[in-house]
């Protein structure tokens, strides 16, 4: 599951050859390590609104190096473009060109971020046009960035401002190495709920989390990341993966629950296990999933039913049990793993894409139920991630999957895990019903 090509073109001779031949040159991404600064280099906050002023003041209070005006030829860690008051398309040019002048000064692994408002709530057609224009602008700009730099956007719903807790949490996430493989994406902050952690190194301290499919791959990475961030873990996988599950559980000092999530009583079993050991359950991560790829013309009901049953029907049943339980009441968080296949579609994956589309539908419809309990439910949609699953893809197809995104490489399981840890945190409480892609900005499909 190593990307040998990326290693080669990041060394002396390989780098020169790739450059001469015009081949992809995937950068080494800036990934989070405990104790690492949020970002290296000054942050330029562009925009003349009160929202820009208060965001800049907040970032200063975090001891970050903040600029309100560009200093020529000074290397920048990040550029934040605050466009929270645009009322018509003509309002965009001035702040965008002010930021554009600094783009060449963005350091490798740098960040560009827009902070704006959703078009769906705009007071007029002109305001909706200006707001939606930010979407097209940011997604295109992200495709122009190089050196492992990324571009992402934060959308503030009515009543939410640039310093609301989850807006700040999203700024932190996008600035940090935790978002290394999230590129060209928007996240909506819908309410002022959420609370920034007093200890940024342990944002999940005191929380009890369940992760399904945790014996290997992305699930094992989620377990390690949640434990690093302070959570206590219950890890679930099928009995056949019992040894691997026990090894991961030992490593993260959690407990193992051998359980097929497609069993009708799976939700009850999970609740009983968590309640007996910890008195409650705070975070549910639905990661377990399977593929049974076949062209639809060759598919019978077997692979269709098993994929639908494990990837979506099981999650619906487990959520129903959790929502009815008194043990799932303390700022509950659910995060589901979807897939970009469920957004863009994938040949040979009608069953899988249907199930992952189902996950996204479920998340959006369940959001109000979680909000009523002071909680949230969100999904992450990974693109090409370096795992045993993708290592089995034939070479040529695998290379295409890997390179056809803005960062020209596959993501790591830890990239998906970091995004899940962010959505599971108290700070992200104002983010609900969202699907956040972890795909390096796939160039194909939606
Ligand atoms: P994997 O196949 O390596 O791991 C999945 C785990 O889920 C395994 O340990 C398996 O035993 C467990 N599992 C399967 N059925 C189960 C059941 N009925 N009950 C309990 N556990 C069960 O897969 P990987 O790559 O780690 O994927 C994890 C999630 O990420 C899946 O939902 C997958 O669809 C999704 N995903 C993966 C991508 C990738 O590039 N690897 C891309 C997009 C989404």
3-state secondary structure at position 188? strand
pLDDT, residue 14, reads 65
What is the number of other CB atoms lying within 10 angstroms of the CB of residue 141? 20
Pocket of ligand 1 (CB under 6 A): 212-213, 215-219, 236-238, 241, 260-262, 287-290, 310, 337, 339, 382, 384-385, 387-390
pLDDT, residue 342, reads 96
For 130-149, the pLDDT digits (tens) are 999 999 999 999 999 999 99
CA dihedral 187, 210, 418, 323 (to 10 degrees): 10
pLDDT, residue 445, reads 56
For 4-37, the pLDDT digits (tens) are 767 777 777 666 666 666 667 889 999 999 999 9
3-state secondary structure at position 174? helix
Residue 43 · residue 59 · CB < 8 Å: yes
Question: Looking at per-residue confidence, does 199 or 113 come out higher?
Answer: 113
**Chain-wide mean pLDDT for the chain?**
95
Q: Which residues are catalytic?
A: 352
Q: Give me the percent of the chain exceeding a pLDDT of 90.
A: 88
pLDDT, residue 21, reads 62
pLDDT, residue 436, reads 98
CA torsion through residues 400, 406, 409, 414, sign: negative
pLDDT, residue 444, reads 66
Residue 217 · residue 386 · CB < 8 Å: no
Question: Looking at per-residue confidence, does 179 or 2 come out higher?
Answer: 179
Ligand 1 center from residue 231 Cα (angstroms): 21
Q: Ligand 1 pocket: which of 182, 219, 266, 289 to mutate (most atoms <8 Å of CB)? A: 289
For 222-257, the pLDDT digits (tens) are 999 999 999 999 999 999 999 999 999 999 999 999
pLDDT, residue 15, reads 67
Q: State the Cα–Cα distance between residues 393 and 120, nearest whole angstrom.
A: 40
Count of all residues that appear for the chain in the document? 446
Ligand 1 center from residue 119 Cα (angstroms): 35
pLDDT, residue 24, reads 73
Sort residue 169 into left (φ over 0), alpha (ψ -120 to 50) or beta.
Answer: alpha
Which tokens hold the place of 397? Answer: 């197809």
Residue 209 · residue 234 · CB < 8 Å: yes
Ligand 1 center from residue 115 Cα (angstroms): 34
Q: State the Cα–Cα distance between residues 125 and 211, nearest whole angstrom.
A: 44
pLDDT, residue 299, reads 97
For 183-215, the pLDDT digits (tens) are 999 999 999 999 999 898 999 999 999 999 999
Give the pLDDT band of residue 393 (cuts 50, 70, 90): confident
Closest CA to 406 of 381, 383, 434: 383
Give the pLDDT band of residue 415 (cuts 50, 70, 90): very high
Domains recognised in the chain with CATH numbers: 33-189 (3.40.50.720), 208-438 (3.40.50.720)
Closest atom of ligand 1 relative to the 219 alpha carbon: 26
Closest CA to 5 of 403, 441, 430: 403
Q: Ligand 1 pocket: which of 273, 290, 316 to mutate (most atoms <8 Å of CB)? A: 290
The continuous run of DSSP H or E covering 187 comes out as: strand 186-189
Q: Give the DSSP letter string of 406-442.
A: TTSSPBPHHHHHHHHHHHHSGGGTT--S-EEEESS-B
Which tokens hold the place of 223? Answer: 């377990």
Q: Give the DSSP letter string of 121-142.
A: G-SSHHHHHHHHHHHHHHHHHH
Average pLDDT value for residue range 329-350:
95
pLDDT, residue 25, reads 80
Q: State the Cα–Cα distance between residues 266 and 160, nearest whole angstrom.
A: 38
**CA 392 to chain centroid:** 24
């Amino acid at each position: 599951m190593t990307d040998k090509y990326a290693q080669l073109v990041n060394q002396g001779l390989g780098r020169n050859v790739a450059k001469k031949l015009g081949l992809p040159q995937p950068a080494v991404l800036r990934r989070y390590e405990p104790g690492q600064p949020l970002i290296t280099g000054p942050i330029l906050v562009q925009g003349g609104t009160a929202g820009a002023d208060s965001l800049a003041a907040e970032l200063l209070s975090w001891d970050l190096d903040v600029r309100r005006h560009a200093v020529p030829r000074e290397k920048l860690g990040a550029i934040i473009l605050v466009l929270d008051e645009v009322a018509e398309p003509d309002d965009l040019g001035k702040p965008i060109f002010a930021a554009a002048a600094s783009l060449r000064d963005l350091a490798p692994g740098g960040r560009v971020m827009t902070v704006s408002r959703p078009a769906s709530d705009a007071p007029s057609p002109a305001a909706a046009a200006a707001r939606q224009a930010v979407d097209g602008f940011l997604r295109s700009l992200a495709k122009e960035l190089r050196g492992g730099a990324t571009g992402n956007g934060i959308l503030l719903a009515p009543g939410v401002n640039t310093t609301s807790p989850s807006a700040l949490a999203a700024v932190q996430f996008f600035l940090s190495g935790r978002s290394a493989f999230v590129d060209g994406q928007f996240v909506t902050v819908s309410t002022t709920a959420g609370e920034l952690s007093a200890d940024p190194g342990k944002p999940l301290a005191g929380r009890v989390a369940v992760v399904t499919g945790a014996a290997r791959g992305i699930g094992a990475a989620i377990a390690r990341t949640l434990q690093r961030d302070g959570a206590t873990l219950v890890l679930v996988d099928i009995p056949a993966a019992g040894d691997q599950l026990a090894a991961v559980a030992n490593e993260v000092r959690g407990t193992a629950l051998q359980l097929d999530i497609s069993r009708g009583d799976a939700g009850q079993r999970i609740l009983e296990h968590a309640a007996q050991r910890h008195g409650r359950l705070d975070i549910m991560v639905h990661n377990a999933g399977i593929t049974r790829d076949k062209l639809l013309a060759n598919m019978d009901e077997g692979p269709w039913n098993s994929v639908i049953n494990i990837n979506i029907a099981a999650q619906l049943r487990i959520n129903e049990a959790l929502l009815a339980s008194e043990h799932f009441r303390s700022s509950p968080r659910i995060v589901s793993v979807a897939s970009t296949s469920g957004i863009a579609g994938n040949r040979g994956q009608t069953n899988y894409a249907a199930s992952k589309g189902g996950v996204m539908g479920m998340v959006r419809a369940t959001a109000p139920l979680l909000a009523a309990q002071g909680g949230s439910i969100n999904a992450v949609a990974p693109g090409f991630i370096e795992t045993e699953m993708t290592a089995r893809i034939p070479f040529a197809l695998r290379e295409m999957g890997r390179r056809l995104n803005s960062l020209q490489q596959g993501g790591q399981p830890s990239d998906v895990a970091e995004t899940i840890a962010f959505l599971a945190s108290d700070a992200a409480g104002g983010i609900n019903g969202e699907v956040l892609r972890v795909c390096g900005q796939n160039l194909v499909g939606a």
